[in-house]
Structures are given as structure tokens and as C-alpha cells.
């Protein structure tokens, strides 16, 4: 699809324009996955404290029933994706390669509703605190990436004055089309969710930023948005346009200070999927036990967008998408720029699983890496004004303090530098490792 005109805004320097790959699934309507015999629901699906299990082996559960309650303020409860019996509570493969505790539910085939959350019909006259409590009770987390509990983002400290609420409809990761389809097929839920969250925050400036390569979504949302006071902005198509800092800059012209958060620029940023989940949690009393995920890639027989229950194994998701035409060289959870490669396909769909991407051998050639040739392309591509090449060398040689002084902690892990690197250097992996090392050292020093 050709890129159409974007609204006249200011844009970040750097970034890249990778092959989009969205043609494989962007025109495929969301399909509801059939009920499975069992689901494996990982307990700790979010950033923060793990939830506390409240069911045990052998318990009967219903769809939407609480399996584990929040384990603190920065935490989120987990709910059953269907009715049935708790077969076991056991470790299962996690998306980062580390086993995670999960509740295995055997479905009884009845799919009986059992949410304890009552629908709130008149949310416009419901207090912001009650709406926020609903968002928390429904187990909502950011569905586009890091899975940060939504109610925490909606609780800025009093000294941080929030005046802009921005929704990320950019979906700038190549191949992913789940948010695009949500905007096309659930436009009312998208804009109503935006308005509900705005009421929680007491914010009047509400924006959805959408990359200009989705003119159909921009048109549909513009028709629905005005009645809820939501503004739709067509954004330039450039990765990582959907990253929080780049999105805030395009919409408001404000820069988030180095090392700061969106709230330091008076903004809260949320994802499109979260807006839809908020509408369902409030109006239907529906906890977050299913989500729309793109299953795609050239090796796949029938790429598309699916509504999966949380706990669906990736292997099953691939099977539902027609299986493979030929063996993929890599399976990634998320998109190719920021996603995580998976070895074990029994890993289940989680609240933040935006995509399941299969890559062919040809696409993987770039994963063999060579020494840095100091070409400087990564410097031009970095949207955060970092100098990635030398920074990665510092981390390789264990010079973590020096790396920190050279702005390692400002890296948003967008992958633009690695994308343009002619030596195919694994820059993002280096930066993730460097940050983890620095954070571990800081924690040790605090103790």
C-alpha cells in the first residue's frame, strides 16, 4: 500500500523504513479461534509483583473467573479463559526462555461465564476512581509491549500534571496488523475506551496517532472520534514512530527529558488494544482473558489476525493459521524489530502477545554478524541520538560504566540501528545485556 499524506507535524530524527510485510495479513478480518481442550495461563504476565494464586488443582472455574489476584499495587490479576477444571499448577515454557508458573485449565466445552465484574452502563457518570478500579480488577496491562499494569499508568503522582492522553495506533512494527484490524472492526470500542481512560485521568486532549499507511483506519476512526472528543492524527511512516517518546514528540512537540517518563512531558501513552479492553471491561464486565494477535510470515500457509484466549499455545496458533508451507528458520513473539525469538512453541499466548511471526531462512541471513566497519549508518538511524556502534563495543568489552556515560540507558531498544547495520551486529542484544548488567549492579549497591 502506498504511503498517503501525513498530517503536518514535527518528527524525530533518525529511524528506518523496514520492509513492512503487512500485506500478508492487513486485509484479513479478525477470526475468533475455536475453543481448545486446554489452556496454559501464565501467572506473571506483567511488569511488577507476581499475582497471588487463589485456585488449586481440581477446582472448577468459569470463564472470566479470577485465578490469581494482584500481588501489590504494581501487579495485575489473571482470569480463566474458559470454564472447566484446574488440571494442574506447573511450570511452562516462558517467552524469555525461562520457565514460568502457570495454571492449566481443562475446558469443559461449555464456556460458561463467571466474571464477578458487573457491567457499568453509565460510565460517564461513574467516578474516575471506580473506573480505575474496574481497569485494575479486569487485569488490564499494556497490550502493545512491556505489559505494564494499566491502572498504574493512570495513577501519576499529584505533582505530575497530565494534560495529554495519546493512543498509539501507529503499529510501526513490520508485519503486525492486529491494531490495524481492531481500529477497522471495533472503531466504537477504540474511541469509547479512549474517552473512558480520559475520564479517569481528567484529561481533555485525547489523540490517536496512526501511521499514514492505514488510510482506511484513519477514515473510519475520524467518523467515530468526534462524538467522544478524540482527535485522529495521521503520522509519518517511519519506524519507531509508535515508540512513546517519538509519538509524544509528533503529537505535542514536547520532548521527554533524558531518562524520564511520558508523564514528565505531561503525557500518558496507551495502546489501541488496551482502549478496546477498557471498553469491554467497563461496559461488559469482561476481564482480559483474550486478545487479537497477528499470526504471519512467509512460511505460514494462511497468515491472519486471530482472537485467541490467553493460554493458547503458539504451536496451536500456527496450526489454526493453516500450519506452515515450509519450515521456518525462526519463530518470534512480537514483531521482527522488538520481538523475542522462541525455541519452544508450547509457550502460550499472553496479554502482550501482539504477533507470532515466522521468518524464512533467507530473511535470517542478516543474523550472522561481522565486526563493526565504522560506517556510521547506525548513528543516522538512531532516533535517540545515541552512537550505537562504539556503545556496543564498550558492552562487548565489559565497560559498563563507560556505556552508561554514553547514554546506554536512553536506548529505547527500537532496533533501528541493527536494521541498518551492514555488519549485521546484534546491537539491541548488546544494549539489553548492558542495561541488565547496570541495573543489577545498582540493585546490589542499594542493598
Instruction: Check if the beta carbon of residue 64 is closer than 8 Å to that of residue 288.
Output: no
Contacts of 288 (CB under 8 A, 6+ apart): 79, 138, 139, 140, 141, 277, 281, 310, 351
Instruction: Check if the beta carbon of residue 156 is closer than 8 Å to that of residue 268.
Output: yes
Does position 378 bind ligand SF4 by CB under 6 A?
A: yes
Contacts of 49 (CB under 8 A, 6+ apart): 70, 71, 72, 74, 75
Does position 413 bind ligand SF4 by CB under 6 A?
A: yes
Instruction: Check if the beta carbon of residue 248 is closer than 8 Å to that of residue 254.
Output: yes
Does position 289 bind ligand SF4 by CB under 6 A?
A: no
Specify the 3-state DSSP secondary structure of 327. coil
- Looking at the Cβ atoms of 169 and 388, the one nearer to ligand SF4 is 388
Residues 416-435 that bind ligand SF4 (CB under 6 A): 416-417, 420-423, 425, 427-428, 431
Pick from 4, 375, 436, 440 the residue near ligand SF4 by CB under 6 A. 375
Minimum CB–partner distance for residue 245 and ligand SF4 (Å): 9
Residues in the chain: 447
Does position 238 bind ligand SF4 by CB under 6 A?
A: no
- Looking at the Cβ atoms of 79 and 435, the one nearer to ligand SF4 is 435
Pick from 389, 394, 400, 404 the residue near ligand SF4 by CB under 6 A. 389
- Looking at the Cβ atoms of 227 and 366, the one nearer to ligand SF4 is 366
Does position 230 bind ligand SF4 by CB under 6 A?
A: no
Pick from 151, 181, 377, 430 the residue near ligand SF4 by CB under 6 A. 377
Neighbours of 385 (CB within 10 A): 12
Does position 335 bind ligand SF4 by CB under 6 A?
A: no
Minimum CB–partner distance for residue 271 and ligand SF4 (Å): 19
- Looking at the Cβ atoms of 289 and 419, the one nearer to ligand SF4 is 419
Which residue(s) pair with 308 in the sheet?
A: 291
Q: Which three cell numbers stand for residue 206?
A: 485525547
Minimum CB–partner distance for residue 45 and ligand SF4 (Å): 25
- Looking at the Cβ atoms of 88 and 423, the one nearer to ligand SF4 is 423
| Distance in Å from the first CA to the final CA of the chain | 54
Contacts of 182 (CB under 8 A, 6+ apart): 30, 189, 190, 272, 273, 276, 292
Question: From CA 335, how far away is CA 243, in angstroms rounded?
Answer: 13
412 CB burial (10 A radius; 0-12, 13-18, 19+): middle
- Looking at the Cβ atoms of 228 and 424, the one nearer to ligand SF4 is 424
Does position 12 bind ligand SF4 by CB under 6 A?
A: no
- Looking at the Cβ atoms of 111 and 380, the one nearer to ligand SF4 is 380
Residues forming contacts to ligand SF4 in the complex (CB under 6 A) are 372-378, 381-382, 384, 386, 388-389, 411-417, 420-423, 425, 427-428, 431
Amino acid at each position: 500500500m502506498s504511503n498517503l499524506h501525513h498530517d503536518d507535524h514535527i518528527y524525530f530524527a533518525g529511524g528506518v523504513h523496514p520492509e513492512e510485510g503487512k500485506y500478508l495479513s492487513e486485509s484479513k478480518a479478525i477470526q475468533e479461534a475455536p475453543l481448545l481442550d486446554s489452556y496454559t495461563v501464565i501467572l506473571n504476565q506483567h511488569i511488577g509483583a507476581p499475582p497471588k494464586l487463589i485456585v488449586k488443582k481440581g477446582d472448577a472455574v468459569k470463564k472470566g473467573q479470577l485465578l490469581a489476584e494482584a500481588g501489590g499495587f504494581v501487579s495485575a490479576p489473571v482470569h480463566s479463559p474458559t470454564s472447566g477444571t484446574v488440571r494442574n499448577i506447573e511450570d511452562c515454557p516462558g517467552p524469555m526462555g525461562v520457565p514460568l508458573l502457570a495454571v492449566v485449565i481443562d475446558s469443559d466445552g461449555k464456556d460458561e461465564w463467571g466474571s464477578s465484574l458487573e457491567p457499568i452502563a453509565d460510565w460517564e457518570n461513574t467516578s474516575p476512581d471506580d473506573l480505575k478500579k474496574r481497569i485494575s480488577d479486569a487485569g488490564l496491562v499494556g497490550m502493545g509491549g512491556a505489559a505494564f499494569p494499566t491502572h498504574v499508568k493512570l495513577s501519576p503522582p499529584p505533582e505530575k500534571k497530565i494534560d495529554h492522553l495519546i493512543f498509539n495506533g501507529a503499529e510501526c512494527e513490520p508485519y503486525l496488523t492486529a491494531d490495524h484490524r481492531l481500529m477497522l472492526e471495533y472503531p466504537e470500542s477504540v474511541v469509547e475506551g479512549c474517552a473512558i481512560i480520559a475520564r479517569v485521568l481528567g484529561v481533555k486532549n485525547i489523540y490517536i496517532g496512526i501511521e499514514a499507511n492505514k488510510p482506511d483506519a484513519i477514515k473510519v476512526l475520524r467518523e467515530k472520534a468526534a462524538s467522544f472528543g478524540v482527535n485522529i492524527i495521521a503520522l509519518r511512516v517511519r519506524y519507531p514512530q509508535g515508540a512513546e517518546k517519538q509519538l509524544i514528540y509528533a503529537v505535542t512537540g514536547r520532548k521527554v527529558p533524558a531518562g524520564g517518563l511520558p508523564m514528565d512531558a505531561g503525557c500518558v501513552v496507551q495502546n489501541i488494544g488496551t482502549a478496546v479492553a477498557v471498553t469491554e471491561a467497563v461496559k461488559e464486565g469482561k476481564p482480559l482473558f483474550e486478545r487479537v494477535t497477528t499470526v504471519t510470515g512467509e512460511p505460514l500457509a494462511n497468515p491472519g489476525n486471530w482472537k485467541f484466549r490467553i493460554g493458547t499455545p503458539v504451536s496451536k496458533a500456527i496450526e489454526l493459521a493453516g500450519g506452515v508451507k515450509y519450515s521456518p528458520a525462526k519463530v518470534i513473539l512480537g514483531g521482527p524489530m522488538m520481538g523475542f525469538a522462541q525455541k519452544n512453541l508450547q509457550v502460550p499466548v499472553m496479554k502482550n502477545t501482539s504477533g507470532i511471526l515466522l521468518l524464512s531462512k533467507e530473511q535470517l541471513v542478516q543474523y550472522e554478524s561481522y565486526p563493526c566497519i565504522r560506517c556510521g549508518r547506525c548513528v543516522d538511524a538512531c532516533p535517540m541520538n545515541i552512537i550505537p556502534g562504539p556503545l556496543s563495543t564498550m558492552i562487548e568489552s565489559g565497560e559498563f560504566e563507560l556505556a552508561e556515560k554514553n547514554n546506554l540507558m536512553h536506548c529505547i531498544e527500537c532496533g533501528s540501528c541493527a536494521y541498518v547495520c551492514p555488519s549485521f551486529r546484534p546491537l539491541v542484544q548488546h544494549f539489553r545485556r548492558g542495561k541488565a548488567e547496570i541495573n543489577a549492579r545498582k540493585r546490589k549497591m542499594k542493598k
